[in-house]
């Protein structure tokens, strides 16, 4: 069994590649720190991106939402004079309506996610990191704003001074998360934003401890290509939070947690520095997943890399 | 000022005709006993039909929803294996989402309706009969079912043994309802289903008393044409609830409440019986509103009829 810690776009693509190789032997543990209530709906962007991408209905290019979706509802909200910068497609709305409805009936987010995954025909487990609500606020020079206001409305452009997360002291990982980490042969960190997507999963009560205590081979896949994020602010945020720029910052972020790091050919210059400075193995390959086929190829290389590391360690 | 008590299709059409003549001098008091929570959304079908028809975005033929709307969300709900017999279009969803969101923020239904009406550019008042939740259950030979289950899913086909309404003992009419009835020059009963749409308004605490106590001329417009409802079960329900069949049943229903009844040419045979038996004036005309122009013409005749009755009474 292989566990993947994932955010949205990049993570969901690698998840799809892994799913094509592993099927039900894959468990995806997904960031929910971006979740927000929008138009009264409980929106869980990373969970949906993973569900849509795995089930093949996702819009691969855009990286969110459902392929071929329309935006009649969203445009009508705008025509009625309400803010509509958070775009939810009409088909996407169905999923968000059903999720919100099931949550309001008292079901947990993990239960609802399992139900949605099943109805989309998925055989692997997709687990939200926790069933507890995590609220993220981003503090910028313009003041504090909600995560989606920062990320979607302001296109992640403002400088980030601080990220405030409100998490319940009673928070626990969702059912299955710790069990998966304990029994996984490999724990993979998806090419997602380390600060915005991976850290909130690691900060879920008990998750980092479970990873450190597991016998799994731990491998991270760098989200940077030539030192820059393909989309989103991963590179800027790593620097803002005191990490070195480029792929070295990624290695720093995962220092002590991983046995190996997968980096893009465009960052090959840093291979030796990472090996010697962090004492981990490095795989240099093509990490940009332009298609599901490319994702499957990368997933295969990552699994081979993890298997080699496992044998080396034994 | 003219007050109209209205249900959905027929009522909204007459409302549109009156609006074109009266503008802000019209107040529409709308049935909310059909309201239900569907897909977690607070749906107020008669209120929306009135808003859409008045503002000109409604689908005149279909009698509900927005013209040119698509049903991507609704179809997706079905594809995910959930019941989707209650069809809400994608544009229509925007209104229902916004209503539900504003209600969950603690605003009243009348406040939300006013806001939606304003944003749709309406100048007249559209008032839900009450801000309190009214729950309607229809008892059929197959057992009890929710109103929309009876009306939409089962297309109003089952025999109705009983209509159960749960209403709060603290229920009051929405702000403006009693004031409008007190100050109206004429109170009109729309060609809506007397049992399903008009009665719930009359049963709202204080409404029937206000109508009986007002100095207005009261005129009802029969929803039957040749003894049959144009759509829906109005004729069958009148009989089930002990009224005579056809337009005589309509006169019976409004007995003691109205000064005049407008009936269709197809029911002209009953004109004299109604006059003599119920002691009211009768206007025989073309009541089928096939277009907004036809609705305006009927509205004009109804207003003239009410004015004549007012002069006769003075």
- Please judge whether B104 and A72 are an interchain contact, meaning their C-beta atoms are less than 8 angstroms apart: no
Q: What is the pLDDT of residue B311?
A: 81
Do B142 and B219 lie in one domain? The reply is no
Q: Is residue B244 part of a domain?
A: yes
Return the residue in A94, A107, A113 with the most chain B beta carbons within 10 A, the one to mutate for interface testing.
A94
Do B183 and B154 lie in one domain? The reply is no
Q: What is the pLDDT of residue A231?
A: 87
Please name the residue of chain B whose CA is at the shortest distance from the CA of residue A118: B80
A100 chain-B contacts, CB cut-off 8 A: 40
Do B203 and B184 lie in one domain? The reply is yes
pLDDT tens across A128-155, in order? 999 999 999 999 999 999 999 999 999 9
Confidence of residue A12 (pLDDT cuts 50, 70, 90): very high
Confidence of residue B313 (pLDDT cuts 50, 70, 90): low
Confidence of residue A314 (pLDDT cuts 50, 70, 90): low
Confidence of residue A247 (pLDDT cuts 50, 70, 90): very high
Q: Is residue B287 part of a domain?
A: yes
Question: What is the CB neighbour count within 10 angstroms for residue B174?
Answer: 22
Quote the minimal CA–CA distance from A68 to chain B in Å.
11
- Please judge whether A97 and B69 are an interchain contact, meaning their C-beta atoms are less than 8 angstroms apart: no
Measured at the CA of B13, the angle between CA B9 and CA B15, to 5 degrees, comes to 115
Nearest to A39 among B69, B97, B120 (CB): B97
Please name the residue of chain B whose CA is at the shortest distance from the CA of residue A98: B39
Q: How far apart are CA A256 and CA A104, in angstroms?
A: 40
Return the residue in A77, A97, A98, A103 with the most chain B beta carbons within 10 A, the one to mutate for interface testing.
A97
Whether the per-residue pLDDT at A313 is higher than 80: the answer is no
We report the CATH number of the domain holding residue B184 as: 3.40.50.10680
Do B204 and B145 lie in one domain? The reply is no
A74 chain-B contacts, CB cut-off 8 A: 94
Nearest to B100 among A40, A77, A90 (CB): A40
- The stretch B237-260 carries a mean pLDDT of 97
- Please judge whether B69 and A72 are an interchain contact, meaning their C-beta atoms are less than 8 angstroms apart: yes
Identify whether the C-beta of residue A300 lies closer than 8 Å to the C-beta of residue A261.
no
Nearest to B98 among A69, A72, A82 (CB): A82
Question: What is the CB neighbour count within 10 angstroms for residue B272?
Answer: 10
Quote the minimal CA–CA distance from B116 to chain A in Å.
8
Whether the per-residue pLDDT at B6 is higher than 90: the answer is yes
Mean model confidence pLDDT for chain A: 96
pLDDT tens across B90-129, in order? 999 999 999 999 999 999 999 999 999 999 999 999 999 9
- Please judge whether B72 and A70 are an interchain contact, meaning their C-beta atoms are less than 8 angstroms apart: yes
Whether the per-residue pLDDT at A196 is higher than 90: the answer is yes
Please name the residue of chain A whose CA is at the shortest distance from the CA of residue B69: A72
Whether the per-residue pLDDT at A92 is higher than 90: the answer is yes
Q: Is residue B209 part of a domain?
A: yes
Q: What is the pLDDT of residue B133?
A: 96
- The stretch A169-181 carries a mean pLDDT of 97
Domain with B263 in it: 177-313
Nearest to A90 among B41, B73, B80 (CB): B73
Q: How buried is B20 (Cβ within 10 angstroms: 0-12 exposed, 13-18 middle, 19+ buried)?
A: middle
Quote the minimal CA–CA distance from B6 to chain A in Å.
24
Quote the minimal CA–CA distance from A75 to chain B in Å.
8
Q: What is the 3-state secondary structure (H, E, C) of A77-144?
A: HHHCCCCCCCCCCHHHHHHHHHHHHHHHCCCCHHHHHHHHHHHCCCCCEEEECECCCCEEEEEECCEE
Q: Is residue B142 part of a domain?
A: yes
Q: Is residue B205 part of a domain?
A: yes
- Please judge whether B70 and A72 are an interchain contact, meaning their C-beta atoms are less than 8 angstroms apart: yes
pLDDT tens across A35-81, in order? 999 999 999 999 999 999 999 999 999 999 999 999 999 999 999 99
Do B308 and B183 lie in one domain? The reply is yes
- Please judge whether A72 and B76 are an interchain contact, meaning their C-beta atoms are less than 8 angstroms apart: no
Do B147 and B263 lie in one domain? The reply is no
3-state secondary structure of A285: strand
B91 chain-A contacts, CB cut-off 8 A: 72-73, 76
Task: Quote the strand ranges of chain B, DSSP E.
Answer: 2-6, 26-30, 36-38, 41-43, 125-128, 135-140, 143-146, 162-166, 186-189, 217-221, 224-225, 228-229, 260-264, 281-285
Among the candidates B166, B186, B215, a domain finishes at B166
Do B213 and B253 lie in one domain? The reply is yes
Among the candidates B113, B146, B166, a domain finishes at B166
Q: How far apart are CA A122 and CA A103, in angstroms?
A: 21
Confidence of residue A190 (pLDDT cuts 50, 70, 90): very high
Q: What is the pLDDT of residue A281?
A: 98
Do B189 and B302 lie in one domain? The reply is yes
- The stretch B292-296 carries a mean pLDDT of 98
Question: What is the CB neighbour count within 10 angstroms for residue B288?
Answer: 15
Confidence of residue A311 (pLDDT cuts 50, 70, 90): confident
- The stretch B165-176 carries a mean pLDDT of 95
Beta strand pairing call for B135-140 and B143-146:
antiparallel
pLDDT above 90 as % of chain B = 97
Do B189 and B273 lie in one domain? The reply is yes
Q: To which residue do tokens 């939606």 refer?
A: B116
- Please judge whether A73 and B82 are an interchain contact, meaning their C-beta atoms are less than 8 angstroms apart: no
- The stretch A2-12 carries a mean pLDDT of 96
Which pTM value belongs to this model?
Answer: 0.93
Q: To which residue do tokens 């009649």 refer?
A: A72
- Please judge whether B39 and A95 are an interchain contact, meaning their C-beta atoms are less than 8 angstroms apart: no
Q: Which two tokens stand for residue A3?
A: 């566990």
Q: What is the pLDDT of residue A279?
A: 97
Q: What is the pLDDT of residue A74?
A: 98
Do B299 and B186 lie in one domain? The reply is yes
- The stretch B45-73 carries a mean pLDDT of 97
Q: How far apart are CA B297 and CA A293, in angstroms?
A: 65
Interhelix angle for B90-104 vs B109-119, to 10°? 140
Q: Give B280's DSSP letter.
A: -
Euclidean distance between the first and final Cα of chain B, in Å? 18
Q: What is the pLDDT of residue A22?
A: 98
Q: Give B198's DSSP letter.
A: I
Whether the per-residue pLDDT at B314 is higher than 70: the answer is no
- Please judge whether B104 and A39 are an interchain contact, meaning their C-beta atoms are less than 8 angstroms apart: no
As for how many domains chain B has, the answer is 2
3-state secondary structure of A233: coil
Whether the per-residue pLDDT at B280 is higher than 80: the answer is yes
Quote the minimal CA–CA distance from B77 to chain A in Å.
5
Please name the residue of chain A whose CA is at the shortest distance from the CA of residue B66: A76
Measured at the CA of B249, the angle between CA B244 and CA B255, to 5 degrees, comes to 125
ipTM, two decimals = 0.91
A→B interface, C-beta within 8 Å: 39-41, 69-70, 72-74, 76-77, 80-82, 89-91, 93-95, 97-98, 100-101, 104, 116, 119-120
- The stretch A250-278 carries a mean pLDDT of 98
Q: How far apart are CA A166 and CA B196, in angstroms?
A: 48
Do B152 and B230 lie in one domain? The reply is no
Q: Is residue B54 part of a domain?
A: no
Among the candidates B144, B166, B188, a domain finishes at B166
- The stretch B203-209 carries a mean pLDDT of 97
Quote the minimal CA–CA distance from A10 to chain B in Å.
26
Please name the residue of chain A whose CA is at the shortest distance from the CA of residue B90: A73
Q: How far apart are CA B185 and CA B171, in angstroms?
A: 26
- Please judge whether B90 and A70 are an interchain contact, meaning their C-beta atoms are less than 8 angstroms apart: yes
A95 chain-B contacts, CB cut-off 8 A: 76, 80
Do B146 and B272 lie in one domain? The reply is no
Q: Is residue B112 part of a domain?
A: no
- Please judge whether A80 and B120 are an interchain contact, meaning their C-beta atoms are less than 8 angstroms apart: yes
Q: Is residue B35 part of a domain?
A: no
pLDDT tens across A220-231, in order? 999 999 999 998
Whether the per-residue pLDDT at B230 is higher than 70: the answer is yes
Nearest to B101 among A39, A69, A93 (CB): A39
């Amino acid at each position: 069994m292989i566990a993947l810690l994932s955010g949205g776009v990049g993570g969901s693509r690698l998840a799809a590649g892994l799913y094509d190789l592993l099927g039900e032997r894959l468990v995806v543990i997904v960031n929910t720190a971006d979740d927000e209530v929008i138009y009264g709906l409980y929106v869980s962007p990373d969970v949906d991106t993973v569900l849509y991408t795995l089930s093949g209905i996702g819009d691969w290019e855009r990286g969110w939402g459902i392929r071929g979706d329309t935006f009649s509802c969203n445009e009508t909200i705008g025509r009625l004079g309400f803010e509509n910068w958070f775009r939810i497609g009409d088909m996407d709305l169905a999923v968000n309506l059903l999720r919100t409805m099931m949550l309001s009936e008292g079901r947990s987010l993990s239960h609802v996610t399992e139900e949605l995954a099943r109805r989309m025909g998925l055989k692997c487990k997709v687990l939200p990191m926790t069933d507890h609500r995590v609220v993220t606020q981003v503090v910028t020079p313009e003041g504090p704003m909600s995560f989606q206001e920062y990320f979607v409305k302001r296109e992640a452009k403002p400088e980030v001074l601080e990220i405030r997360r409100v998490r319940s002291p009673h928070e626990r990982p969702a059912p299955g998360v710790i069990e998966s980490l304990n029994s996984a042969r490999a724990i993979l960190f998806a090419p997602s934003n380390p600060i915005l997507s991976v850290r909130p999963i690691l900060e879920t009560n008990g998750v980092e401890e479970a990873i450190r205590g597991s016998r799994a081979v731990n491998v991270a896949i760098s989200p940077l290509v030539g030192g820059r994020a393909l989309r989103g602010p991963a590179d800027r945020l790593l620097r803002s939070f005191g990490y070195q720029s480029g792929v070295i910052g990624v290695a720093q972020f995962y220092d002590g947690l991983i046995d190996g790091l997968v980096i893009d050919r465009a960052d090959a210059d840093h291979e030796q520095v990472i090996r010697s400075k962090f004492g981990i193995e490095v795989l240099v390959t093509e990490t940009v997943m332009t298609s599901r086929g490319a994702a499957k190829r990368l997933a295969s290389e990552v699994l081979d890399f993890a298997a080699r590391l496992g044998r080396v360690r034994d």
